[in-house]
Amino acid sequence: MEDLSRVYDELANRAIRSRADLENWLLDEAELDSYVYEQRTVRYINSTRQTDNRDFTRAYEEYTAGLEPRIKVLNFGLLKKYAASPFRTELPTAVFGQEDKRRMSAVSIFRPENVELEKEESALAQKYQRTAGAMTVNFRGQERTLQQMARFYEETDRAVREQAWRLADGRALADSEALDNIYDRMIGLRDHVARNAGFDNYRDYVFVKKDRFDYTPDDCLRFHEAVEQSFVPLSREIDKARGEKLDIDILRPWDLRVDPESRPPLSPFNDTAGLVGGAAKVVGQIDAQLSRFFSQMTELELLDLESRKGKAPGGYQEEFAEVKLPFIFMNAAKRDNDVRTLLHECGHSFHTFLMREKGLPYFNGGANIPTEFAEVASITMEIISGEHYRGAFYNEVDSRRSNWEEAVSNVKLFTWVATIDAFQHWAYTHPDHSHEERARAWVDTFSRFSGTESYEGLETSRAYRWQRQLHIFEVPFYYIEYGIALTGALGIWSHYRRDKRSAIDLYKGALSLGASKSLPQLFGAAGLNWDLGPGALRKFADELRVAIKEYAEGP
């Protein structure tokens, strides 16, 4: 910290006497940021690769508890210096325009009195994490988390699915009141933060806080309506077909994950070498340059894919901001989902490589790429890669089945994004609601977008289903991004099926722009219309309906 302080102080005290001074100052700041962010990333990655290595966990804690809070304060000092500079408005907008917008917006909503409230908020988020993390059940002789129970919903024996579902659900319900109380306090705090910053409600505040320059709360409400019109009917058609194939009259919540033809799960590879080799083949068929990026990741050991003792759960893509190279972490379990996850994270990695080639400055450790577009990069790879699984992972039949599962899960994702987002719009614009009103609002929202499954006799479970979505507690309003990104990814997929070459060229061009352009410009560069309205969504739903039928029935 002492060494770092000297560099921060130099930046804080440096005289800026011209536009060129300011530009150099910004680039130096970006360089410092990249260095600091890379330190954080290295420590984070090490600690997740070996959770049982005390030195690694200590090094990461040293960063989060010791360095990060102090760096935040120093960064805010630099931000204020930037905002006060008269040369700000003379910077070339092609490189600095978006960054300037983000910085001025951050300055405009900063209130010193909110710092303490935000600390309380993150303490509550940790309390939610502890409560949810402690939820385990004993099933088939083993203690399992509720996430680990999910694989039993794929069991072809319906009684096993129901037993597993009820066990997990009962465990979650045991803490429903505690979670209700945590959420009350969160809503109160967040509302207070928003009012301190001069907003009527937290929702309007969050749109500024999250740099949503290109769409409004009303656009989100229209998006919900568009999902209701186009994707809810499609989702219910899928359920109907599922019920018929399974020979079940009324689907229940535990019938939604099993293969409708009661086949065992897909088996795309036997070991990590099989996963990497298959992915290399797939990427090779997509594009030569992307394929080189993927081999570089293998050669430089930027992949940690297999599950092993001592490794943290889950998967992510992180980026070493200083050297500008990506790293992929996951826990492969020989499932179809692992292939999609790897290709998804590859999409994020290609973003890093393409920005690196372009040489744009890295503000905030590169973390400024709007999520709505960062996820276009990843979801696109997740979806279009499915066109090439035959021969790399599957035979013809299994490849179609994998694509069917992906397409169906994307239909369901649209409806779930709308559910989670619409519920939060209601919650934060009615901050004084009671628990009963909240449950009613949730059930209304849930029913508006849900499939055909019946919750008869499970009304309480349905009323508390929102408590299982960690975003609602930990990262409020962070969810619509996936819906927006999915429209972009489907647009590129549609283009790719018609003209592979031009779709990929536009995709790569848009990724190379990094965070330097607005969302409509990034979408435009990828050959997409920036359109979240009913017309665009209907087109995607229609195309998915046809594809799902093809995948289910064959050519």
Which residues bind to Zn ion, rule: CB under 5 A?
378
Least distance in angstroms from the C-beta of 485 to Zn ion? 8
CA 505 to chain centre: 24
Taking the least distance from each CB to Zn ion, the nearer of 202 and 329 is 329
Q: Which is nearer to Zn ion, 48 or 378 (CB)?
A: 378
* Shortest distance, position 470 Cβ to Zn ion, whole Å: 16
For 490, counting Cβ atoms within 10 Å of its Cβ (0-12 exposed, 13-18 middle, 19+ buried), the class is buried
CB nearer to Zn ion: give 378 or 402.
378
Nearer Cβ to Zn ion (44/254): 44
C-beta separation of 466 from 178 below 8 A: no
Bridge partners of 319, per DSSP, are 326
Rounded to a whole number of angstroms, the minimum distance from the CB of residue 482 to Zn ion is 9
Q: Return d(Cα 169, Cα 166) in angstroms, integer.
A: 5
List the structure tokens of 46: 């090490």
Q: What angle do CA 156, 236, 449 make, to 5 degrees?
A: 110
Q: Report the length, in residues, of the chain.
A: 555
- Return the percent helix, strand and coil in the chain, to nearest 5: 70, 5, 25
C-beta closer to Zn ion: residue 378 or 380: 378
At its nearest, how many Å lie between Zn ion and the CB of residue 101? Answer: 24
Which amino acid would we find at residue 257?
R
Q: Would you list the DSSP string of 358-426?
A: HT---GGGGTTS-HHHHHHHHHHHHHHGGGG-BTTTB-HHHHHHHHHHHHHHHHHHHHHHHHHHHHHHH
- Give the chain's end-to-end CA distance (angstroms, integer): 62
Which residue lies nearer to Zn ion by CB, 373 or 404? 373
**Cβ at position 409, least distance to Zn ion in Å:** 14
Pick the closer one to Zn ion by CB: 340 or 495.
340
Q: Smallest distance, Å, CB 413 to Zn ion? A: 12
Of 316 and 426, which CB lies nearer to Zn ion in the complex structure?
Answer: 316
Q: Supply 350's token pair.
A: 């290609």
Distance of CA 52 to the CA centre of its chain: 27
Residue with the closest Cβ to Zn ion?
378
Strand partners, 145: 136
